[in-house]
Amino acid sequence: MTKFNMQSTPQPDFVPKQTRAYRVPEVLKVETEKQIDELLRLGFIEPSNSPMTSGVVCVVKPNKSVRWVVTFDILTFLLFQTLCL
């Protein structure tokens, strides 16, 4: 996995967006926390103080393992707007 750091300077009228938090089913909370801790330990993710948020949806795969899906809809929309100016 390639590690990268994306920095940008927002426009003066930029207002940070936050998506709603999706409820993690009680039966998946322990597994979700375990995966977050592992990704933090491996350096694949890191804590952020960004005012932007993206929701995470937990999906149970056919083999019963848990996969998260991150919804970057707002970020994609904002980046597309910036690139098309």
For residues 35 and 42, give the distance between their C-alpha atoms in angstroms, rounded to a whole number: 11
pLDDT digits (tens, 9 = 90+) for 28-82: 888 888 988 998 999 888 887 877 777 778 888 899 888 888 777 776 777 776 6
Residue 29 φ then ψ, to 5°: -60, -45
pLDDT of residue 63: 93
Whether the pTM exceeds 0.85: the reply is no
Residues 1-16: what's their mean pLDDT? Answer: 64
For residues 19 and 55, give the distance between their C-alpha atoms in angstroms, rounded to a whole number: 6
For residues 48 and 75, give the distance between their C-alpha atoms in angstroms, rounded to a whole number: 15
**pLDDT at residue 83 above 70?**
no
pLDDT of residue 40: 92
